């Protein structure tokens, strides 16, 4: 049986073996059949799929979204443009929300870091970072 062991896939894709196991468990890559020695033998395409997954993660897709993207990429000759457009719209909305959250967090950190050391408080109740973590809110 031709193919790659889990450790070979991990090495070629530059990920940990546990990552390969996890992707297999999540259904992102197909479970590999075992050879006569009992080793799982993955097709070479698995490395390409893992690289696709890693690149999609880098640009902000969740593993569930990547599962859908991989399915579309591997199974359809033509991408369903309506579905891709809708996915893009949802992702833009999520990114805008994340940007807003990060800007708020940056303002909170700037509030703390712009204080001179003489104004630093030892009180948890007076620290905006601790209060944000403890109580949330805006």
pLDDT class of 123 with cuts at 50, 70, 90: confident
Give the pLDDT confidence score for residue 4 in this predicted structure.
94
Helix axes 17-26, 6-13, angle to 10 degrees: 100
Looking at residue 132, its pLDDT comes to 79
Same domain for 101 and 42: no
> Which residue has tokens 């999520």?
94
Give the whole-angstrom CA distance, residue 70 versus residue 21: 17
Given a cut of 70, whether residue 137 has pLDDT beyond it is: no
Residue 138 has pLDDT above 70, yes or no: no
Q: Do 15 and 47 lie in a common domain?
A: yes
8 A C-beta contact, residue 40 and residue 8:
no
Range of the domain at 35: 6-75
Averaged pLDDT, 5-23:
96
Q: Give the residue among 24, 64, 18 at the shortest CA–CA distance from 46.
A: 24
Instruction: Give the span between the Cα atoms of 109 and 18, in whole angstroms.
Output: 35
pLDDT score recorded for residue 122: 65
What pLDDT, on the 0 to 100 scale, is given for residue 76? 66
In this structure, the answer to whether residues 43 and 58 fall within a common structural domain is yes
List the CATH number of the domain containing 45.
1.10.1660.10
Residues 61 and 106 in one domain: no
Q: Report yes or no on 1 lying in a domain.
A: no
User: pLDDT tens, 28-74?
Assistant: 999 999 888 888 899 999 999 999 999 999 998 999 999 988 988 88
Q: What does the alpha-carbon distance between residue 47 and residue 42 come to, in Å, rounded to a whole number?
A: 9
Q: Total domain count for the chain?
A: 2
Q: Tell me: do 85 and 71 sit in the same domain.
A: no
> Are both 35 and 55 inside the same structural domain?
yes
The verdict on 23 and 56 lying in the same domain is yes
Residue 1 has pLDDT above 60, yes or no: no
64-121 tens-digit pLDDT:
999 988 988 887 677 778 888 888 899 999 999 999 999 999 998 888 888 777 776 6
Does the predicted model carry a pTM greater than 0.85? Answer: no
């Amino acid at each position: 049986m031709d193919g790659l062991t889990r450790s070979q896939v991990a090495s070629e894709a530059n990920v940990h073996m546990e990552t390969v196991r996890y992707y297999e468990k999540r259904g992102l890559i197909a479970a590999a059949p075992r050879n006569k020695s009992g080793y799982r033998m993955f097709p070479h395409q698995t490395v390409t799929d893992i690289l696709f997954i890693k690149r999609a993660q880098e640009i902000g897709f969740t593993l569930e979204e990547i599962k859908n993207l991989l399915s579309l990429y591997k199974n359809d000759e033509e991408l369903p443009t309506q579905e891709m457009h809708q996915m893009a719209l949802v992702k833009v909305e999520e990114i805008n929300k994340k940007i807003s959250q990060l800007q708020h967090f940056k303002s909170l950190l700037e509030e703390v870091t712009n204080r001179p050391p003489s104004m630093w408080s030892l009180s948890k109740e007076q620290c905006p970072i601790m209060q944000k973590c403890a109580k949330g809110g805006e």
